[in-house]
């Protein structure tokens, strides 16, 4: 693995009762790590590939985590995650921005589900990564896209040699 989900999540200062949404959860690396950090909270693992949902379910069962809700959803559509408005404390978007076709809708969906002042952990492939030329969104461009939609930059994190990490905050009261 090129990046460490547990280490990256710890930079957020999660509380044990936080609600986390892992968008484009893949096989659940961030969902499982988040589930251990928010034992009294909840993790929504949202993924469009149904076979990955079974993998996440198996990993959660193996880790004895009952706080992970697995959702088949479209992260590029407003309402597509099936998560309610303004109920999430932290959204994780790891290795998905470069794949997302409708980046504006993706960011709007994040904004919709986050509580006021909720945080986003954005981790994606760096320009120096092995994914060169495969739709990579440079860090400065990713940050600008989120800021345009009403997010404020909090700080960058060290997400590993092949990734960049940015923490952003929903910068509005509703």
User: Between helices 103-113 and 139-148, what is the axis angle to 10°?
Assistant: 60
The whole-number average pLDDT for the span 146-157 is: 96
Structural domain total, the chain: 1
Residues in the chain: 174
pLDDT digits (tens, 9 = 90+) for 101-145: 999 999 999 999 999 999 999 999 887 766 665 678 899 999 999
CA distances (Å), origin 151, targets 75, 97, 110: 18, 16, 10
**What's the distance, CA 27 to chain centroid?**
13
pTM of the model: 0.93
The Cα angle at residue 123 between residues 167 and 16, in degrees rounded to 5: 60
Query: What is the domain-level CATH number for residue 156?
Result: 3.40.50.150
- Domain encompassing residue 160: 5-170
Q: Cα separation of 135 and 159, whole Å?
A: 19
pLDDT digits (tens, 9 = 90+) for 52-109: 999 999 999 999 999 999 999 999 999 999 999 999 999 999 999 989 999 999 999 9
Extract the tokens encoding 71: 């959702």
Extract the tokens encoding 125: 């492939």
pLDDT digits (tens, 9 = 90+) for 9-57: 999 999 999 999 999 999 999 999 999 999 999 999 999 999 999 999 9
């Amino acid at each position: 693995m090129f990046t460490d989900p547990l280490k990256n999540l710890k930079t957020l200062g999660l509380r044990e009762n936080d609600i986390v949404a892992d968008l484009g959860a893949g096989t659940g690396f961030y969902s499982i790590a988040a589930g251990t950090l928010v034992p009294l909270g909840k993790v929504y693992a949202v993924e469009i590939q149904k076979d990955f949902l079974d993998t996440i379910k198996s990993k959660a069962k193996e880790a004895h985590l009952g706080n992970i809700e697995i959702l088949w959803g479209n992260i590029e559509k407003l309402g597509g995650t099936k998560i309610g408005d303004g109920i999430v404390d932290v959204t994780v978007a790891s290795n998905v921005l470069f794949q997302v076709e409708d980046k504006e809708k993706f960011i709007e969906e994040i904004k919709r589900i986050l509580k006021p002042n909720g945080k986003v952990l954005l981790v994606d492939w760096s320009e120096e990564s092995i994914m060169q030329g495969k739709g990579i969104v440079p860090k400065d461009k990713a940050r600008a896209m989120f800021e345009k939609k009403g997010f404020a930059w909090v700080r960058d994190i060290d997400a590993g040699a092949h990734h960049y990490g940015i923490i952003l905050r929903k910068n509005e009261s509703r």
